[in-house]
Amino acid sequence: MSGTQGPLVEVERLVAEFDQADPPTLLDVRWRLVGPPGRDDYLAGHLPGAVFVDLDTALCGAPGAGGRHPLPDPAALEAALRAAGVRAGHPVVVYDGGDGMAAARAWWTLRWAGHRQVRLLHGGYPAWVGAGRPVSTDAPAPSPGDVVVRPGDLPVLDAGEAAALAAADDAVLLDVRAASRYRGEVEPIDPVAGHVPGAANLPSGEYVGPDGRFLAADVLSERFAAAGVTEGRAVGAYCGSGVTAAQAVLALHLAGRTDAALYVGSWSNWVADPARPVASGPTPGR
């Protein structure tokens, strides 16, 4: 479905699909960078039939030199997805707490893993509740899935490739963190402040609203073009640890740039090596 309908699904469309004989597999991926775990939210209430999948432990690898949310081990990811009932060739819908970041990383991870029929519930759990739809506290026990993880279906950047992209005249590397972090004025999480030399700043608020809903495709195209994403130029994105940047990649898909690459390790991987250069200030600083 994602190939023909796009990566987003609205509440009413999902309701209609639930009435089908074999509805989509529904994954609750609610997550916070800090604060109570998403599973607590899930246990308090979730979409009927949804299975909880943890972003930190199931959809990402262990934090380390590769970053705070590196790529998962393919075999471990396959086991986690099968345990959640994900089936080969069967549509999946992911949702989060409304900001769209964890769901976008889940969307990206499944797409990277070769599962193309995956969509994000636009607006997440708040959109579902706001539409007056029922919630459940029952945790389903899904039949094991048979999905096969085949990594590489979406492009990935390592640190060297990100640096090359940022330095190239025919490419653009987007840093989608807040402007103050990009400029190096503050860094609340990682040990070094600043940005990858040559990267252009496009904070996430430029392509997604405060309710987690993506802007219209024509507006997205304009915002990305203003940041240097133009025809013929390769594009990649990074953030702090590859979660918000996955949302940027989804937004780029909506704008027609399905070739957009994700620097999964992002800033948390870049600064793990003290030999890598760091730029500061409001300009790319090549």
**For the residues of 224-235, what is the DSSP string, one character each?**
HHHTT--TT-EE
Residue 112 within a domain: yes
Residue written as tokens 């990305």? Answer: 224
Q: Show the low-confidence residues of the chain (pLDDT under 50).
A: 1-4
Q: 239, 243, 254, 260: which is the annotated catalytic residue?
A: 239
Cβ–Cβ < 8 Å for 146, 82: yes
CB-CB neighbours of 25 under 10 Å: 23
The domain total for the chain is 2
Asked if the structure places residue 226 within a domain, the reply is yes
Q: Is residue 91 part of a domain?
A: yes
Is residue 147 a part of any domain in this protein?
no
The position carrying tokens 């953030």 is 239
What is the CATH classification number for the domain harbouring 225? 3.40.250.10
Distance CA 151, CA 230 (A): 28
Backbone angles phi, psi at 175, to 5 degrees: -100, 115
| Pair 20, 122 in one domain | yes
Domain containing residue 21: 2-130
C-alpha 227/C-alpha 118 separation (Å) is 28
Any catalytic annotation for residue 60?
no
Whether residue 185 is found in the same domain as residue 262? yes
pLDDT value at residue 37: 87
pLDDT for the residue numbered 36 = 81
